[in-house]
């Protein structure tokens, strides 16, 4: 059963999840923790909060960062999920360069999806089903119910046999590298950070499971926990 935490607004979601993130990683009795980050705008406040108020509270050398999806652009491009995270968090903390595995957005999408899939396989623990098991998977959700870069017109990415695959944004046609559904659902802890009233209607059907046309509805961790960190606007129809 998914746990739902609702806070006043986007800044409050960032503040409260940052505390949860800190406690989760600090209480994990393991030397190495794999974290798969989401992109978009919601996590930016989280990155700023972690850098501002938790920089000294976390041993960042234990954390290994990956991305659940990346736009096929160079890191300097403002659309780059890695580039934004580097600016807001990675440049502010003591984390070994080798602990940060970015998608090479400027590479050929298909080749990079294969390369990044191998990178994940080589650096993330493998579960009994032979798939990578992230300790923490942070996801967002778009107003169309997409998550990572699995959009409603590419539902096959939810069951892809690949670790990572190439996605296409339905409106812009922008190519992206995305983690696939089976890897998302293999994580120990999956957390949705969802804010904004524009997502309320879709979120209600994602949460009650009726929105089968939305990729986010199919995020149902096999054995891991599922949490929703929401602001009141996004949670308005729950």
Which residues bind to ligand 6PG, rule: CB under 6 A?
38-42, 69, 81, 140-142, 146-149
Whether residue 136 contacts residue 99, with contact meaning beta carbons closer than 8 Å, is answered with: no
Read off φ and ψ for residue 189, nearest 5 degrees: -140, 120
Compare residues 40 and 109 and give the one whose CB is closer to ligand 6PG: 40
Measured between alpha carbons, how far is 136 from 64 in angstroms, rounded to an integer?
Answer: 10
Q: How far is the CB of 141 from ligand 6PG (least distance, A)?
A: 6
Whether residue 159 contacts residue 195, with contact meaning beta carbons closer than 8 Å, is answered with: no
Q: Nearest residue by C-beta to ligand 6PG?
A: 140
Compare residues 33 and 234 and give the one whose CB is closer to ligand 6PG: 234
Compare residues 121 and 174 and give the one whose CB is closer to ligand 6PG: 174
Compare residues 28 and 155 and give the one whose CB is closer to ligand 6PG: 155
CA distances from 143 to 79, 95, 192, 212 (A): 18, 33, 13, 15
CA distances from 199 to 22, 44, 66, 203, 230 (A): 27, 18, 25, 6, 10
Q: How far is the CB of 95 from ligand 6PG (least distance, A)?
A: 21
Burial label for 112, CB within 10 Å (0-12, 13-18, 19+), is buried
Q: How far is the CB of 39 from ligand 6PG (least distance, A)?
A: 3
Nearest to 208 by CA among 185, 184, 228, 181: 228
Q: How far is the CB of 108 from ligand 6PG (least distance, A)?
A: 19
Measured between alpha carbons, how far is 187 from 182 in angstroms, rounded to an integer?
Answer: 9
Read off φ and ψ for residue 117, nearest 5 degrees: -60, -40
Q: How far is the CB of 93 from ligand 6PG (least distance, A)?
A: 21
Measured between alpha carbons, how far is 111 from 119 in angstroms, rounded to an integer?
Answer: 12
Compare residues 124 and 141 and give the one whose CB is closer to ligand 6PG: 141
Compare residues 83 and 142 and give the one whose CB is closer to ligand 6PG: 142
Q: How far is the CB of 146 from ligand 6PG (least distance, A)?
A: 6
């Amino acid at each position: 059963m998914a746990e739902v935490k609702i806070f006043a607004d986007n800044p409050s979601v960032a503040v409260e999840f940052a505390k949860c993130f800190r406690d989760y990683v600090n209480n994990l009795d393991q030397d190495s923790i794999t974290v798969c980050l989401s992109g978009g705008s919601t996590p930016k406040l989280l990155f700023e909060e972690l850098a501002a108020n938790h920089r000294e509270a976390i041993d960042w050398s234990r954390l290994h960062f990956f991305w659940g999806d990346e736009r096929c652009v160079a890191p300097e491009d403002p659309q780059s999920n890695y580039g934004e995270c580097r600016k807001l968090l990675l440049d502010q903390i003591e984390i070994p360069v080798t602990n940060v595995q970015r998608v090479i957005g400027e590479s050929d999408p298909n080749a990079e999806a294969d390369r990044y899939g191998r990178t994940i396989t080589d650096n993330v623990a493998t579960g009994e089903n032979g798939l990578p098991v992230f300790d923490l998977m942070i996801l967002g959700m778009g107003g169309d119910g997409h998550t990572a870069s699995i959009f409603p017109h590419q539902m096959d990415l939810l069951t892809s046999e690949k670790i990572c695959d190439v996605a296409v944004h339905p409106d812009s046609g922008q190519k992206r590298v995305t983690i696939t559904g089976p890897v998302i659902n293999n994580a120990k802890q999956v957390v949705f950070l969802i804010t904004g009233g524009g997502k309320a209607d879709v979120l209600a059907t994602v949460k009650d499971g009726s929105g089968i046309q939305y990729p986010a509805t199919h995020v149902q961790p096999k054995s891991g926990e599922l949490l929703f960190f929401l602001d009141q606007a996004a949670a308005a129809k729950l």
